[in-house]
Amino acid sequence: PVEPAGGNPSPNGKEAPIDQEDTGSTTGGNQFLTRIASQLLFGLLYYLLIVSKYPDLKDTEPTAPALELQKENEVMALCKVSGRNCLLSWCCSGPRAAHTFHSVGELSYWPSLFLMSVVPCCTLWFMNARTDLNEKLGGQRRSFCMSCLCSCCCSCCVIAQDAEALDLTMGVQTGLCGVYENVV
């Protein structure tokens, strides 16, 4: 029997027709859509439990601990971030980053959540390189190249550092189910 390029041998020795509908695995596409859906669904819950109760930064100046945290590089700063912000940054990066962008006043929550769910690295890159996000949190605007590197290689570290700096500045703690006053 003749075996066509697609690997389907024909019983009569002629080339078997290629199934036009067989496009191979769609697992990658399904995983992407599942990620977006889960980020958006959790984002709704996160908004109701946390963002809606979180104070806005407005003209609040960064505190000394926030300034110190922002002086660290993103990976080293991760060692100084609360377990809650680490967990949220690693497992729910879209909602956690959207919360920071919203509370700082750079981009409202829902567009932030959508962008962080669909194109997370690009959104984080833009927010750190082209907005006043870092300055409002006590740091410096990242260069275009450094922001790209950090956003693509350790986005969770960037999100966690900014989240913790926001909590330190606002004097609150982001919990897993709410916002709590910092006990001094």
Tens digits of residue pLDDT in 93-104: 999 999 999 999
What are the residue ranges of helices labelled H in the chain? 27-49, 64-71, 74-77, 83-91, 93-104, 109-118, 120-130, 133-136, 144-153, 155-170
Tens digits of residue pLDDT in 37-92: 999 999 999 999 999 999 999 999 999 999 999 999 999 999 999 999 999 999 99
Alpha carbons within 13 A on the beta-carbon side of 23: 5
User: For residue 28, what pLDDT is reported?
Assistant: 73
User: For residue 142, what pLDDT is reported?
Assistant: 87
Strand partners, 172: 181
Confidence check: pLDDT of 9 > 90? no
Q: What is the pTM of this model?
A: 0.82
Band of pLDDT at residue 4, cut at 50, 70 and 90: low
Tens digits of residue pLDDT in 135-147: 999 999 989 999 9
